[in-house]
Amino acid sequence: MGNSVYNVLFLCTGNSARSIMAECAINRWGKGDFKGFSAGSHPKGVIHPLTLELLTELKYETKGLRSKSWDEFATPGSPRIDFIFTVCDQAAAEQCPVWPGHPVTSHWGVPDPAAFEGTDQEKRRFFGRVYRELENRIKMFTNLRIDELDSFTLQQVLKEIGRAKLPDS
């Protein structure tokens, strides 16, 4: 691919939790080699309060984060996207826009923390677990030597990363 910075778009349906977490995590762990973005097929328009709470606890800058449509990234003048990861099963099954530049895509589905039911403490723990699973995958991804992998191998490695789970605690 030969880029100095890889642009990565995380997609979900509502763009209120998982994709927002992933955007923040790749911007942290990508160490300037990756620039993260997030969007949704049917964005909620607001970020889930527990997402913002968790990201603030983890010392992320949340100013400027917003829930937005994936259409913003399929228009002329939008950032060139090198990788697209769907983080929810529903978005993975939807008909996506045609992305300029034909980015590499993979499915990295994780459970929806916004749909989790339980006490406030259980919800917070679940949001944290989903974040850690995404963060784990992102760390694996950002440590790849992308330029040294042929497209077939890269696609296979990305699939494997998408299957990575956290050990049960």
Domain ranges for the chain, please list them: 6-163
Residue 165 confidence class, pLDDT cut points 50, 70, 90: confident
Catalytic one of 52, 58, 74, 96: 96
Give per-residue pLDDT as tens, 27-81: 999 999 999 999 999 999 999 999 999 999 999 999 999 999 999 998 888 999 9
From 8, 88, 92, 138, the catalytic residue: 88
Q: What is the pLDDT of residue 90?
A: 65
pLDDT of residue 98: 65
In the set 8, 9, 11, 12, the catalytic residue is 12
Rounded to whole angstroms, what are the CA distances from 163 to 60, 107, 110?
Answer: 26, 9, 9
Whether 24 is catalytic: no
CATH superfamily of 6-163: Response regulator (3.40.50.2300)
Annotation says 88 is catalytic:
yes
Q: Of 168 and 18, which is predicted with more confidence?
A: 18
What distance in Å separates the CA atoms of residue 102 and residue 131, rounded to the nearest whole number?
Answer: 28
pTM over 0.75: yes
Q: How many CB atoms are located within 10 Å of the residue 83 CB?
A: 21
Is there a catalytic annotation at residue 12? Answer: yes
